[in-house]
A = this chain, B = another copy of it.
């Protein structure tokens, strides 16, 4: 009846191995034999402890997203309490949402860069059960942050805010996930995975200005019918 020590050892060895292998080879590209081999446990251990390969993937994410979701909600709650009813600054909202994510990359006990890259890559996995799972895991947090952005940008149509939220998620995911997928396309070392804990801070410094710039960009012409010219003149980065 009591929890034997070897039990949690085996479970966590499997979760760690699966986290790394799913990141490197994707869900379909990773076999149970690869996972149990890397974890140094018996092939049947995954089905015994988790039930199935699908359930294993869900647990890999659940143990990390539990912290991420809680922290994101806590930060938003704190900021809203301190603002006493006033709308938050968009930059503060983004800092809370994406900064929390990037912080996980600096802390090995939260999964480190391995989990960050896994998360970025898995968001595009086409398998139905994965999409369903993420929808459930993200629903509450995304809804809260969406509403905070609505209040922070009262003059911007909600649909436009959702689009830009979407685009920011995409840019951030690629910045993390595609580190070697697209750096070979861009043909330049983007020096991420060798930096260890500082990697996430470098990432943050590079990505956050980009996201804010995108979020605050002029609205598309068909949204603001008036004054549709002269708004994209200064063709220069600061």
Chain A interface residues toward B at CB < 8 A = 23-26, 28-29, 89-91, 120-121, 123-127, 131, 134-135, 138-139, 142-143, 146, 152-153, 155-156, 159-160, 162-175, 177-178, 180-188, 190, 205-222, 231-232, 234-238
A169 contact from B160, B180, B185, B212, Cβ within 8 A: B185
Stoichiometry (number of copies) = 2
Whether A164 and B231, one on each chain, are in contact in the complex, defined by CB atoms closer than 8 angstroms, is no
Q: Given A180-B131, A218-B209, are A169 and B174 neighbors across the interface (CB < 8 Å)?
A: yes
Whether B213 and A123, one on each chain, are in contact in the complex, defined by CB atoms closer than 8 angstroms, is no
**Distance in angstroms between the alpha carbons of A138 and B170 in the assembled complex:** 20
**Distance in angstroms between the alpha carbons of A221 and B201 in the assembled complex:** 12
**Distance in angstroms between the alpha carbons of A190 and B170 in the assembled complex:** 14
Give every chain B residue within 8 A of A90 (Cβ-Cβ). Answer: 235-237
Which of A24, A178, A180, A234: most chain B CB closer than 10 A? A178
Ranked nearest first, the 4 interchain pairs of A and B with the lowest CB-CB distance are A170-B174, A213-B217, A28-B28, A214-B214
